Structure 1
């Protein structure tokens, strides 16, 4: 019963935080420490429930995903339109750096202490982006240029530091590059699907030997909970983003870092 409670709690945390600019990886590491759920099995569990969150976003953006491949696309009369090349260009920087530094990141950056530091640094960057954002040249995701897509991809590299937040890095970066909050959020979520699937598949392949049939129920509960919660979280976040911007999420990151420093690190 205790293990299923852990699965539910971690599934909720993953679903709530995966696509919000607060770092799901950071939350999973920190809550894992609180629940005393760490080690290889915990790492594999996090990969599986992350796939549940990814599935939620894929369902929310299914029409857009089909459009990337020219299925059901309604062409715009003027200007560019989001296509598969935008996504590929945006994925390149983090994919290359992630592959090159994968071992280093797993060995040195996945700890409560480095995550707490990353939460703070990422929050400062988000506030900086809100205050220094330039004029908007991309009101919708279809207005994003190839150059902006690549630039957002460069900012995504920051999220390889656990705790920084992939959505926080890309949304803040997009604001500095001239996109609206909604445009870069949509682009960030769509781009997340293939890059997160690839990263999860790599980690799952390396962890395949840890899975046993007795774990299926435990893993399934976490997957389903993460999927359901992520559906609600993403829809709510997109509605809030235009109103509250990134600063409240940055402040939450500072509070979270302070709380966990007091209760875990001391």
Structure 2
């Protein structure tokens, strides 16, 4: 199979899974293994296509991110998402990720960890879906600082490969009494700073693996991930409140079985 086709396939996989609660890491490892695309070049490629998914959220929420630069509403009773919400949602995972970055990359990026995380994350999602109390928050502008911080704490789970950032944060949002769409939208917003930091660090460490001959392949993956991620994020927000998290949890369980069969055994 040509590298260009591999790039296209993996770009689709990244775009489809980055903002869904199904673990993009797990999918990329599984599909990469099936395609025979592994090693340092594959790891660098994954960093590049994640940048494509990040750009999609930046484009979709560009006005929202610009509005965060307005500091006049901070601490005031007016209901408006502000930069403090984002900081509270980002700091816990940023601190954990920064402290444990090397350990995570060297010790936790293994198929067995991914399988356990897929199952554990699925159980958390089912629990959040079944146990959440009546919602008190129906838009991101109604989120309190406390809710933002709770979601941020749950985002810490996403540093474990296979757990899923979206699955962790949306579950945290539901348990903090924010509805499905609000939890998902805030998940997108707090994912961007975390991904910029983590992916930027990985990108710097991967620079020596980049060669000019890889530009066409990496460009195909980047553009594909960008387009697909944008379409998926919009569609996900429309259907999540109707289908809930449980269906994604059961999918994760099935993926864990496939992962065990095709990657571990």
What SS is found at the alignment partner of 2:135?
A: coil
1:89-148: CA deviation from partner (whole Å, max 9, x where unpaired)? 111110011011111111111122211111011000000001110221211101111111
Cα distance in structure 1, aligned partners of 2:207 and 2:115: 29
> Which residue is 1:265 aligned to?
264
Stretches of structure 2 that go unaligned for 5 or more consecutive residues are none
1:263 to 1:207, Cα distance in 2 relative to 1, 3 A:
closer
> Which residue is 1:52 aligned to?
52
Whether the aligned pair in 2 keeps the contact of 1:29 and 1:111 (CA below 8 Å) is no
1:7 to 1:251, Cα distance in 2 relative to 1, 3 A:
same
Whether the aligned pair in 2 keeps the contact of 1:79 and 1:143 (CA below 8 Å) is no
Cα distance in structure 1, aligned partners of 2:259 and 2:194: 29
Question: CA RMSD, aligned part only?
Answer: 1.8
- Asked if residue 39 in structure 1 is aligned to residue 39 in structure 2, the reply is yes
**TM-fit CA distance, 1:264:** 2.8
**TM-fit CA distance, 1:74:** 10
Whether the aligned pair in 2 keeps the contact of 1:139 and 1:180 (CA below 8 Å) is yes
**TM-fit CA distance, 1:66:** 1.1
> Which residue is 2:110 aligned to?
111
**TM-fit CA distance, 1:80:** 2.4
> Which residue is 2:61 aligned to?
61
1:21-40 matched pairs, under 5 angstroms: 21-40=21-40
Cα distance in structure 2, aligned partners of 1:26 and 1:140: 30
> Which residue is 1:173 aligned to?
172
Cα distance in structure 2, aligned partners of 1:174 and 1:79: 21
Cα distance in structure 1, aligned partners of 2:108 and 2:84: 31
Cα distance in structure 1, aligned partners of 2:259 and 2:181: 31
What SS is found at the alignment partner of 2:80?
A: coil
1:75-90 matched pairs, under 5 angstroms: 79-90=78-89
- Asked if residue 158 in structure 1 is aligned to residue 148 in structure 2, the reply is no
**TM-fit CA distance, 1:218:** 0.7
1:139-218 matched pairs, under 5 angstroms: 139-218=138-217
Whether the aligned pair in 2 keeps the contact of 1:153 and 1:170 (CA below 8 Å) is yes
> Which residue is 1:251 aligned to?
250
Whether the aligned pair in 1 keeps the contact of 2:13 and 2:27 (CA below 8 Å) is yes
Per mean C-alpha deviation after superposition, the further-off stretch among 232-241 and 255-264 is 255-264
**TM-fit CA distance, 1:262:** 2.3
TM-score, normalised with respect to structure 1 = 0.95
What SS is found at the alignment partner of 1:204?
A: helix
How many residues end up aligned between the 2 structures?
264
Cα distance in structure 1, aligned partners of 2:244 and 2:60: 21
Stretches of structure 1 that go unaligned for 5 or more consecutive residues are none
What SS is found at the alignment partner of 1:126?
A: helix
> Which residue is 1:70 aligned to?
70
